[in-house]
Copies of this chain bind each other. A is one copy, B any other.
């Protein structure tokens, strides 16, 4: 069954010359579809636009992207009530060689897939995570944005295949915990909530922004600062978030163990009220 489409709903093809394949010269967004509509659409578009600014791609009009996503969901055989859509935006085809001017004819590809809900038990009791050996390179010009250069995440995620871990946490060379392989990480220590600033590496997830905003509306601010792996033993609560599953508490990491704490529950409730139904316990 085809899963990738062009803006007009035809089955998508990509040529080998596409700079997305040649150099990872592009961006993507993975968007939760709930009840027929993309969730956190504005935040996905804001991040895509930031990415376009950084790597020099002319952002297609948002209504066209929205139409493409909805059409992909429609023409693929997935349930629009609960699905996942992906937009890939590459710098298109062009001359061989790294250099280019701003890409004004990007390749735009839309994918729609079956979404696999995470077990309710994990929301209630928390998930196990593992520290990955693969480190994230620091001081990246691409920090924060979601490019097609994702080999670090591939290597890190591949480490936990076959293990009990729901997610792997990735560090930079200084043992700062930056991200999960497919999520962002929040820490609570002495009632202070924090997450990595991501100014040097990592991906700034849209759900991370949604968590920060949703809690800020309740008067709870998130500090942007690093937590190292050795500081894990001093942390009172940890949780993960991403655009698909919303927020999931962390229960275990190696020998460390945490309860589902009060601030984590507050964050879940705030998200549940702010459109992330999975977090309603």
| A residues apposed to B, CB below 8 Å | 3-4, 12-25, 28, 55-56, 88, 90-91, 96-101, 109, 111, 113, 134-135, 137-142, 147-158, 160-161, 172-173, 181-182, 201
Contacts and interface: CB of A to CB of B under 8 A. Distances in A.
B158 A56 contact: yes
B154 A25 contact: yes
B97 A182 contact: yes
Contact of A24 (B139, B148, B161): B148
A155 B173 contact: no
Given A16-B4, A16-B14, A23 B97 contact: no
A160 B21 contact: no
Nearest to A150: B23
A115 to B, nearest CB: 11
Contacts of A139: 135, 137-138, 172-173
B97 A157 contact: yes
A150 B24 contact: yes
A110 to B, nearest CB: 10
11 contacts: A4-B15, A14-B16, A18-B21, A21-B88, A22-B148, A23-B150, A24-B148, A55-B155, A98-B181, A135-B141, A142-B152
Contacts of A149: 23-24, 149-151
A85 B24 CA distance: 19
Contacts of A113: 96
Contacts of A152: 140-142
A96 B84 CA distance: 11
Given A148-B24, A149-B24, A154 B13 contact: no
Contact of A153 (B16, B23, B161): B23
Given A157-B98, A158-B99, A182-B98, A23 B151 contact: yes
B25 A151 contact: yes
Contacts of A138: 137-139, 173
Nearest to A151: B149
Contacts of A28: 22
Contact of A151 (B12, B16, B55, B88): B55
Contacts of A173: 138-139
Pick the most buried of A18, A98, A101: most chain B CB atoms within 10 A of its CB: A98
A49 to B, nearest CB: 17
Q: Which of A109, A152, A172 has the most CB of B within 10 A?
A: A152
Nearest to A20: B21
Contact of A161 (B3, B101, B150): B101
A161 B103 CA distance: 14
Contacts of A90: 21
